Amino acid sequence: MQPKRYNLFSEHLKQHFGGRAHKISVDAGFGCPNRGGGRGGAGCLFCDPGGSGAVGIERALSVAAQIEAGKEVMRRKYKASRFLAYFQPFSNTAAPPEQLRALYDGALGVEDVVGLCVGTRPDCCPPQVLDLLADYHRRTYFWLELGLQSVHDPTLDYLRRGHDYRCFLEAYEQAVARGLRVCVHVILGLPGEDRARMLATADEMARLGVAGIKIHLLHVLAGTPLGALYEQGEVAVLEQEAYVRLAADFIERLHPRTLIQRLTGDGPRDLLLAPLWSLNKWEVLNAIDGELERRGTRQGGRCRALAG
């Protein structure tokens, strides 16, 4: 098996733990401040009504019970023995620190859980919460995952994100100042963004030297405002070949040290309107590998932060 031409998160975990470690997604019952919460918002244009990554999670179970159920699945599929509790759907820092501590400690108390990953929005990172997360960073293996999607404010406005890039930058810089590992989520193929705009997001992630990144392609899901626009013919999605080329371009622009945690996505089959080719996840990943090999390039090969 040839080594990857990009900095793969799973390989980092193997090196860090001396073997494979697998994420288990849990739903701690959080909501999203962008859906009401005093703002009266209907949420982001693209977001699954059940929250990102909510597929297959038994919400009725406690956090510990969700992890135990996930462990059984991972053990059967991968013979896994180490696990990271991933607080994924909605905004998992949108609560007082004492409530968050009880939830995070409950996850870490489950046998064979060796770390935490906490997903949230940049406008849900007040100083007292970041101080709490920094404590977990000192105690265990920890990642903060911040949804950004794009560095361009007109795009964020169109998506109804409820925050601008400056808000993200402030949260990111305060997290890094506390020593936190931050994984940033971005989306390729957003309406109104051409190749230059999407690669500008890559250049900015390289300038920041982000520790980790998740690269998603735009999914159109039924029951979302974006889904309605797509069905009306007002939104287009990328074809597979175009996405593969764009993902390779994006990887080339990233800093070589950035850990790539995701390169594509696989939306819920029962909700996915487009692009249907995204269901063939391994075909897409293999095509990206093949494109980088065809070019004879790798992550960081066109990193402007290094050149400048």
Q: Which of 16-25, 35-44, 202-211 is least confident?
A: 35-44
pLDDT for residue 58 is more than 80: no
Interval 125-162: pLDDT, tens: 999 999 999 999 999 999 999 999 999 999 999 999 99
Establish if 303 belongs to a structural domain: no
Interval 295-308: pLDDT, tens: 999 999 999 999 86
pLDDT for residue 38 is more than 50: no
Establish if 280 belongs to a structural domain: yes
Establish if 302 belongs to a structural domain: no
Q: Which residue has the tokens 């950004």?
A: 148
Establish if 2 belongs to a structural domain: no
Q: Which pTM was predicted?
A: 0.95
Please give the average per-residue pLDDT across 153-173, as a whole number. Answer: 97
Establish if 69 belongs to a structural domain: yes
What is the reported pLDDT for 31? 86
Q: Kindly report each contact of residues 66-69 with a partner whose C-beta sits within 8 Å and lies 24 or more positions away, as own/partner.
A: 66/24, 66/26, 66/27, 67/24, 67/26, 67/107, 67/110, 67/113, 68/110
Tokens of 57: 């999670």
What is the reported pLDDT for 39? 45
**Range of 209's domain?**
9-297
What is the reported pLDDT for 2? 64
Percent of the chain whose predicted confidence (pLDDT) is above 90: 87
215 burial level (CB within 10 Å; 0-12, 13-18, 19+): buried
Residue 235: band (very low, low, confident or very high) from pLDDT cuts 50, 70, 90:
very high
Establish if 167 belongs to a structural domain: yes
Looking up residue 233, the CATH number of its domain turns out to be 3.20.20.70
pLDDT for residue 122 is more than 80: yes
Establish if 52 belongs to a structural domain: yes
- How many structural domains compose the chain? 1
Give the span between the Cα atoms of 93 and 97, in whole angstroms. Answer: 8
